[in-house]
A and B are shown apart, each in its own frame.
Chain A
Amino acid sequence: DQQVKQNSPSLSVQEGRISILNCDYTNSMFDYFLWYKKYPAEGPTFLISISSIKDKNEDGRFTVFLNKSAKHLSLHIVPSQPGDSAVYFCAASPNFGNEKLTFGTGTRLTIIP
């Protein structure tokens, strides 16, 4: 039972354009969401997060949008740069106790120069 889904395994975007990565979740107990970026042969690194009390969080070129009613979040990268080429994982957690993160299956983003 995949509680966090990234339905696009891969995405190619022209350099300078906007990249939009999508993530859906099914568990209504999730109320904290994160995006991680992973290069080959390296561990994932934290990118940006959002709490369910917000619908948008921005950090430089990265913006995460949360639509709680649709159980959907998206990561926008603008403008896209070649160094953004990586696998992106979304992750979710309930906002209580000591709950672990549940990760999606990842989307491989390729930025075309």
Chain B
Amino acid sequence: DVKVTQSSRYLVKRTGEKVFLECVQDMDHENMFWYRQDPGLGLRLIYFSYDVKMKEKGDIPEGYSVSREKKERFSLILESASTNQTSMYLCASRRTPPNYGYTFGSGTRLTVV
């Protein structure tokens, strides 16, 4: 069974900390994505990557950066965590089209205090 694994289910961090959210997929997918989910706002795209060392900004990249040094791993970095970054973070991967479906990880619930 294909898998996208997010390293932490729950995280609590302090304002100003640098936070790393890790995502690993075992499907040899080219494309990887980071979303955040907030009530009433749905899933909003933060960053995505089409290949190793490639990255593209999504709809809400401010305050975030990403790293993709290996095909299977896509990291989301909060440079200086703020309370408005408290959210559910979801990683997803996908083969290059024509298969358009994403496989999602279980999510990381991040609380910034």
Contacts and interface: CB of A to CB of B under 8 A. Distances in A.
Interface in A66-113: 89, 93, 95-101, 103-106
A32 B100 contact: yes
Contacts of B100: 32, 34, 49, 93, 95, 101
A99 B109 CA distance: 27
Contacts of B90: 43-44
A43 B96 contact: no
A34 B99 CA distance: 12
Interface size bracket, B side: 20 to 34
Contact of A98 (B31, B102, B103): B31
A106 B42 contact: yes
Given A9-B40, A32-B100, A105-B40, A43 B105 contact: yes
A43 B44 CA distance: 14
A91 B64 CA distance: 24
B48 A100 contact: yes
Contacts of A99: 97
A53 B101 CA distance: 17
A52 interface: no
Contacts of A100: 33, 45, 48, 58
B50 A98 contact: yes
Contacts of B43: 44, 89, 103, 106
Best-surrounded residue of A42, A43, A96, A101 (most CB of chain B within 10 A): A43
B85 interface: no
A49 B42 contact: no
A105 B42 contact: yes
18 contacts: A34-B101, A41-B109, A42-B107, A43-B4, A43-B105, A43-B106, A44-B43, A45-B104, A46-B103, A49-B100, A49-B101, A99-B97, A100-B48, A101-B102, A103-B35, A103-B42, A106-B42, A106-B43
The 4 closest A-B pairs by CB, nearest first: A43-B104, A105-B42, A103-B43, A43-B106
Interface of B: 4, 9, 31, 33, 35, 37, 40-45, 48, 50, 58, 90, 92, 96-98, 100-107, 109
